[in-house]
A and B are shown apart, each in its own frame.
Chain A
Amino acid sequence: DAGVIQSPRHEVTEMGQEVTLRCKPISGHDYLFWYRQTMMRGLELLIYFNNNVPIDDSGMPEDRFSAKMPNASFSTLKIQPSEPRDSAVYFCASSLGRGRGGYTFGSGTRLTVV
């Protein structure tokens, strides 16, 4: 398996623009997580899905952020409009059966909003 695949690896955008981050989880995994990592706040859970259904989105910072999982092999995290404070590394992770075997993380998307 190729692991969790995220795209793009790097994204530079101007304030106010829409940004879409993409994630392909490991085939067969039924949980998918979106995290944001910054120096100031560390690793923050934004939202997670079970069998494509959002379970907990309490970590989504505000209405500018939205996430979807239209099928078991694809998820998106969208920021509209983007702001400089959204600059961070965004990670997607997937797991099987409540994560008792651990998570598999993607390589992340480094987002810079100028």
Chain B
Amino acid sequence: GDSVTQMEGPVTLSEEAFLTINCTYTATGYPSLFWYVQYPGEGLQLLLKATKADDKGSNKGFEATYRKETTSFHLEKGSVQVSDSAVYFCAPNTNAGKSTFGDGTTLTVKP
């Protein structure tokens, strides 16, 4: 079956530091790839997506590139802010319509 491996957290960074959260996956077919973010007390929100190889998804300064050869979709941001503190989930979506979610990586950004 489909699976996702995310970088284990928690991750603690200082404001303006560079962020990378690794994500690799196994999936049947040609999945679309997503990152979701969950702020405390809220539901998950779609952060960015990519639908084919070499596509780069981006939103709010975050980026991730669809790497088909390495089955990876690593999340990056050049300069994190305190407001980026949240839990981040990687999720491939296969043709069956069902997304598989990673375990989530908790990011804390300190001023």
A and B form one complex: yes
C-alpha gap A100/B29 in the complex (Å)? 13
A108 within 8 Å of B by Cβ?
yes
C-alpha gap A108/B97 in the complex (Å)? 21
A43 within 8 Å of B by Cβ?
yes
Our count of residue pairs bridging A and B at CB distance below 8 angstroms stands at 54
Knowing A99-B93, A105-B44, the reply to whether A45 touches B98 (Cβ < 8 A) is yes
Is A107 within 8 A of B51, CB to CB?
A: no
Q: How many residues of A contact B (CB 8 A)?
A: 24
> Which residues of B1-58 have CB atoms within 8 Å of chain A's CB atoms?
32, 34, 36, 42-46, 49, 51
B95 within 8 Å of A by Cβ?
yes
Seen from chain A, the residues whose Cβ lies within 8 Å of a Cβ on chain B are: 4, 31, 33, 42-43, 45, 48, 50, 55-56, 91, 93, 95, 98-108
The contact sample of 10 A-B pairs, CB cut-off 8 A, is A48-B98, A98-B96, A99-B97, A100-B93, A102-B46, A102-B49, A103-B44, A103-B46, A103-B99, A105-B45
